[in-house]
Amino acid sequence: MKYRSLLPLILIGSITFGFSAVCQAACTLTLTTSNVSVSWDLGFASQAVSFTLNKNGQACNYKVGLTAGGTGAGNYTTRRMLAGTTQLPYQLYKDSGLSKILEDGTAITVANGFVGSFPNGNNRSVTLTYYLAIPSQSPLKPSGSYTDTYSVNAYEDTTLRTTASVTLTTTVPKTTELSQVATGQAFDSGQSNQSLNFGTLTSSGGTTLSYDLLVRSNAGYSVTLSSQNNGALKHAASGITQTLPYSFSVNSVSYNLTGSSTVPVTVATGTGQTLTSGVRNTVSITPSSITDLDVLSGTYTDNITVTTTVTE
């Protein structure tokens, strides 16, 4: 009899599966911003605003954009502040030449946003500057405190990493300004004085000379005149008291300047807001004729102070 031994077949082995993975941490971005305050006047053009983008960790590419604002602006070209229901348009530009409007999100490009990269390492930062512009408004905007809020958004490539809110406040005071120019000329804020030369006066009377007095204001205003010699031309030589009267009119309405050296005479008023071109008033001055042969020869002058004041 034969016996067969059945031995189990045991296979012993091992299979090792190996893999490696590189996990990159997100670029840690933070923003350092501050609110923006503007004290507006008729000469305001633009104001530089700076903020800082900070990074810790790995190298990364970044993009930074600015939103359209929180007052319901339909798009980036219609940013606006509000004082009650009154709108004051403004704009945010990348460049001091005010040609590249800042945008946000997928619209960010080198032209209309801040695009750059950080090297590897902690505590990296870059200071970025944009420009706030408030375009001239006609009619002028009424006085008040105008505000809006927009956001500065920082992205790693296309992923939003951090955001900061900026409150913009513009204080518009009550203001009025005058310009005295040759007849028909435009408002010139640098031209507030006017000089009239009547030449040689004769017995037939002096020639009438005229010019334009322009006033612009964002509130009610009053224009007053004060004649140094109370409505007369005075001999320029020291110690001589000889005077020659003249007639004075604004918009064909005559005004008596007697006593105006101490009590100014009101010659024009207005309410509300004017256009930036101003309200035009025609001033005419005519020296009286010389009928007295005893009038001393020489130069006769008068100085008239013109003042515009807010009344509302």
Per-residue three-class SS string for the chain: CCCCCCCCCCCCCCCCCCCCCCCCCCCEEEEECCCEEEECCCCCCEEEEEEEEEEECCCEEEEEEECCCCCCCCCHHHCEEEECCEEEECEEECCCCCCCECCCHHHCCCCCCEEEEECCCCCEEEEEEEEEECCCCCCCCCCEEEEEEEEEEEEECCEEEEEEEEEEEEEECCCEEEEEECCCCCCCCCCCCCCCCCCCCCCCCCCCEEEEEEEEECCCEEEEEEECCCCEEEECCCCCCCEEEEEEEECCEECCCCCCCCCCEEEEEECCCCCCCCEEEEEEEEECCCCCCCCCCCCEECCEEEEEEECC
Q: Which fold has domain 28-172?
A: Immunoglobulin-like (2.60.40)
The per-residue pLDDT for 81 is 95
pLDDT at 2 over 90: no
> HSE on the CB side for 309, CA within 13 Å?
12
The per-residue pLDDT for 295 is 77
The per-residue pLDDT for 20 is 42
pLDDT at 230 over 90: yes
Specify whether the CB–CB gap between 118 and 154 falls below 8 A: no
Residues 155-184 pLDDT 10s: 999 999 999 999 999 999 999 999 999 999
- Where does CATH 2.60.40.2040 sit in the chain? 28-172
In whole angstroms, give the CA distance from residue 263 to residue 14: 112
Q: Which amino acid is at 119?
A: P
Most confident by average pLDDT, 188-202, 260-274, 281-295: 260-274
- The stretch 97-103 carries a mean pLDDT of 96
The per-residue pLDDT for 283 is 97
Specify whether the CB–CB gap between 261 and 227 falls below 8 A: yes
Buried (b) or exposed (e) across 140-149, using 16+ Cβ within 10 A?
bbbbbebbbe
The per-residue pLDDT for 23 is 40
Please state, rounded to an integer, the average pLDDT across all residues of the chain: 88
The answer for 233, left when phi > 0, alpha when psi is -120 to 50, beta otherwise, is beta
Q: Report CA-CA distances (Å) from 104 to 137, 151, 239.
A: 26, 9, 74
Residues 43-76 pLDDT 10s: 899 999 999 999 998 899 999 999 999 887 778 9
pLDDT at 109 over 90: yes
In whole angstroms, give the CA distance from residue 160 to residue 34: 20
Domain 176-310, second-level architecture: Sandwich (2.60)
The per-residue pLDDT for 140 is 94
pLDDT at 202 over 80: no
The per-residue pLDDT for 3 is 41
pLDDT at 21 over 50: no
Main-chain phi, psi angles of 176, to 5 degrees: -145, 150
- The stretch 142-148 carries a mean pLDDT of 96
The per-residue pLDDT for 57 is 84
pLDDT at 223 over 70: yes
Residues 263-278 pLDDT 10s: 999 999 999 999 999 9
